[in-house]
Structure 1
Amino acid sequence: MHSALTASDGREIKLFAWLPEQEIRHVMVLSHGMAEHIQRYTGFALACNAAGIAVYGANHRGHGDDASVLGHYADDNGWQKVISDLDLIVDDVAARHDVPLVLFGHSMGSFIAQQYAILNGSKLSGLVLSGSNYQNPIMYKLAILVSQIEKMRIGARSPSRFLDFVSFGAFNSKFKPTRTASDWLSRDPVQVDKYINDDYCGFPCSPQFWLDFMSGLISISQKSEIAKIPNQLPISIFSGDKDPVGLQGKGVLALAQHITTNGCENVHFKLYPDGRHEMLNESNASEVFKDVTDWVTAKVS
């Protein structure tokens, strides 16, 4: 089921809901990854429902069948608009359910979730980060320079196959011999093929999208910013130890250490052996579902 919210600039946000039949004990808001869409999370949401967790989520700007321009947040202030959309969703969901609210972010959505927790952490009872990373912001500053040049070459809104290749082109190299260009996502060939055959997955994003996204990553990488996350907020960070986004676990561990050393006292961390980028779509997805729901049930109050 879904309902609609209206963003501050008039954009309609189609909010999807997966509701349990039994008593609702927790509620979760999903923040999905880059070049995918919210309906890919149905299996995970149903597993959450079985644990008494209601789940809500919407497509980020530039994503899904309701995108005005696929792969493009906005012509200006895209990062801020995405965060504002998420705040609208959190407030709406919190008004519907008087139970602890958990924000779950995957990949790009995990960075959006970190920014949200920095700005609005007091509204959350828990934070889950999947397929995330932390590295020196100088990498993002270089990416901004390249994106600015590409924007001059093709325009702000045009999909950039060059930036797509620069960002993701090397990800498959660790998994040779490869069957597809998306083998880095999961060991499960059925899930990889679903992604490849989905018109709303795997598209290249615009130079302006990359400028917005990289600026957001620079922001959340600052120690002074991450220190604004409430110290007592329960945080769970997990990834596959072969995920190239998380630098084969090194970037994920760096993220956990970064968050912990800057004040957060309740951080759970797990790497899944041989897991790739999308642990919710991995060959051991049922184990991951149970780990997440068990953590929410036990740690979020």
Structure 2
Amino acid sequence: MNKIEVQAADQQIFCVRHWPHPAPRARLQILHGMAEHCERYQPLAEFLHQHGVEVIAHNHRGHGERGPAGHFADQDGWNKVLADVSTAQQVGNPQVPLFLLGHSMGSFIARSWAARHGERLQGLLLSGSNQQPPGLFYLGRSVAWLLQRLQGGQHLSGVMNWLSFAAFNKPFQPARTGFDWLSRNPRAVDQYMGDPQCGHLCSLQLWQDVFGGLIEISRPASARQIPATLPLYLFGGDMDPVGRLGQGLPALAQLFAHTGHDKVTLRLYPEGRHEMLNEQNASDVFNDLLQWLNQQLPA
């Protein structure tokens, strides 16, 4: 894995992780989730590399080495994060088909980006995602806005963290840790908890940015902007609280069916939690993902 510096549209310098391949069949870009970082996806990147897929990944603003921690930007953070996705694509082989994989918050970013630039993609993969009416997102954005008036946009909010995540562990009581909702694999949970770049709080402005993005992508109009012929792969666990315990991904598949997307693959893993790429059956998840990728490529 190499680290290659690129310059964002606003002149910020950031690193793209690159797993090059001498003769790639495809290029996969990974977008990580909230309060984690892209190097957690190294096992998947190495697996795909062994099968002829070049991989690129970068940390979103406010994540990994990109400070301040938990904060996209003071203004227009969502659009700056989307622009970084395009900038990162400067790395790697532009002559092979490009696939975009987003996990959790990264899946929301991926959907928003694909609505703007989906013609550049050969396929869109969404992990640990969700779909629901935007009412709750409007409420969350309003709460974050009110708190920002009192505490400032860069304030790292324990209140928003509690409101968003406090209930996630309830289905898994008695829980060993506060993050059992991530995976049934205790080693993966312990690694997450022991990683100083994981589990951090996020700023009130970031929460407003994310809720604004969720409001956008929850509308059928946004889904219609994604090319109807683009192959879509939706996967997650049926015990993922982000995906409303198996309801969110089928609702997303139904949305895409309603908007004319006829190449949608939905895979729900029984008993799987939020991070299927770090689950007890991660090898099955990797192989299923690779099989889907192979189906989208010329023989």
Give the TM-score normalised by the residue count of structure 1.
0.97
Q: Percent identity over the alignment? A: 43
What amino acid maps onto 2:44 in structure 1? F
Q: Secondary structure at the match of 1:171?
A: coil
Residue 93 of structure 1 deviates from its aligned partner by 3.8
Contact 1:126–1:300, Cα closer than 8 Å, also in 2: no
Spell out the pairing of 1:200-211 with structure 2 (5 A cutoff): 200-211=197-208
Residue 298 of structure 1 deviates from its aligned partner by 1.2
The answer as to 2:273 corresponding to 1:272 is: no
The answer as to 2:185 corresponding to 1:184 is: no
Aligned residue in 2 for 1:8: 9
Q: Secondary structure at the match of 2:126?
A: strand
Contact 2:8–2:14, Cα closer than 8 Å, also in 1: yes
Spell out the pairing of 1:243-282 with structure 2 (5 A cutoff): 243-282=240-279
Aligned mates of 1:147, 1:120 — CA distance in 2: 29
Aligned residue in 2 for 1:40: 40
Q: What is the CA RMSD across the aligned residues, in angstroms? A: 1.0
Give the TM-score normalised by the residue count of structure 2.
0.97
What amino acid maps onto 1:18 in structure 2? W
Task: Write the deviation string for residues 245-291 of structure 1: whole angstroms up to 9, x where unpaired.
Answer: 00011011101111121121100000000000000000000110111
Aligned residue in 1 for 2:67: 68
Spell out the pairing of 1:127-142 with structure 2 (5 A cutoff): 127-142=124-139
Spell out the pairing of 1:29-178 with structure 2 (5 A cutoff): 29-65=29-65, 67-90=66-89, 92-93=90-91, 96-178=93-175
Residue 239 of structure 1 deviates from its aligned partner by 0.4
Aligned mates of 1:279, 1:214 — CA distance in 2: 24
Contact 1:157–1:207, Cα closer than 8 Å, also in 2: yes
Match of 2:281 among 279, 284, 290: 284
Aligned mates of 2:277, 2:118 — CA distance in 1: 24
Residue 200 of structure 1 deviates from its aligned partner by 0.4
Spell out the pairing of 1:195-234 with structure 2 (5 A cutoff): 195-234=192-231
**Structure 1 segments (4+ residues) deviating >6 Å:** none
What amino acid maps onto 2:181 in structure 1? W
What amino acid maps onto 1:208 in structure 2? Q
Listed as ranges, the gaps of 5+ residues in structure 2 are none
Aligned mates of 1:93, 1:124 — CA distance in 2: 15
Listed as ranges, the gaps of 5+ residues in structure 1 are none
Contact 2:32–2:106, Cα closer than 8 Å, also in 1: yes
What amino acid maps onto 2:234 in structure 1? I
What amino acid maps onto 1:71 in structure 2? G
Q: Secondary structure at the match of 1:111?
A: helix
Aligned mates of 1:204, 1:260 — CA distance in 2: 36
Contact 2:4–2:91, Cα closer than 8 Å, also in 1: no
Task: Write the deviation string for residues 115-156 of structure 1: whole angstroms up to 9, x where unpaired.
Answer: 011000000001000000001111100001111121122211
Contact 1:234–1:300, Cα closer than 8 Å, also in 2: no
Aligned residue in 2 for 1:27: 27
Q: Secondary structure at the match of 2:225?
A: coil
What amino acid maps onto 1:206 in structure 2? S
Q: Secondary structure at the match of 2:63?
A: coil
Residue 20 of structure 1 deviates from its aligned partner by 3.7
